[in-house]
Amino acid sequence: YHEALQRVHRELEKMQSIFSSLLSISRAESGGMPVKRAVVDFSELLSEMLELYEPSDEEHGLVLQGEVAEGLQVYGNRQLLAQIISNLLDNALKYVPSGGEVRLLAHREDNRIKVVVEDGGPGIPPEMRDKVFERFARLDPSRTMAGSGLGLSLAKAFVELHHGSISIAKSSLGGSAFLLDLPAA
């Protein structure tokens, strides 16, 4: 009974996480999400994210590289911006095979902050690139990877909440490149 209760508890936690993500997406898309904004040192935030993910990447046999320009600032919510980057790095951890590479690049171009999170994974076919931002999207329904299919939908909603955009291209590493474009503060 104890083992069955533990399984039920884990499933309830997953359901709660899915519900919370759906609620956040809906609020962000409808403009009903109250967001405290301030000038965020985005260079510092990205450097912290790289530092946070480095041990995890090493554990998965991946090489994580980062090139973050100094002085990048975004007017927004630090927690939501961190969630965007976290979702993209989490995906790379899931889909890039051991020995692969993940790269995070960020620079300023005119009044925009350009961020690229790219990997050497299997990539996303061009015809599926828009679909991965839909709720519960899974490239291959038979995939056994954990996840609800909400991470990229949540990332897109949070990027748009910051008046930015997110898209996907083929990575120079062979996999996918997620391209963020955010207004500079």
Residue-wise pLDDT for 19-32, tens only, equals 565 556 566 666 66
Question: What confidence score (pLDDT) does residue 135 get?
Answer: 61
In the chain, what's the furthest Cα-to-Cα distance?
A: 61
More confident residue, 70 or 121: 70
**Over 50: is that where the pLDDT of 144 sits?**
no
Percent of the chain with pLDDT over 70: 78
What is the pLDDT confidence band of residue 104, given thresholds at 50, 70 and 90? very high
**pLDDT, mean of residues 14-43:** 70
**Over 90: is that where the pLDDT of 36 sits?**
no
3-state secondary structure of 110: coil
More confident residue, 133 or 108: 108
- Strands 63-68 and 101-109 come out as parallel
3-state secondary structure of 168: strand
**pLDDT, mean of residues 167-178:** 92
What is the pLDDT confidence band of residue 58, given thresholds at 50, 70 and 90? confident
Rounded distance between C-alpha atoms, residue 139 and residue 158, angstroms:
22
Identify the H or E element spanning 51: helix 42-59
Structure tokens at 3: 């083992």
**pLDDT, mean of residues 47-72:** 90
Computed over every residue of the chain, the mean pLDDT equals 83
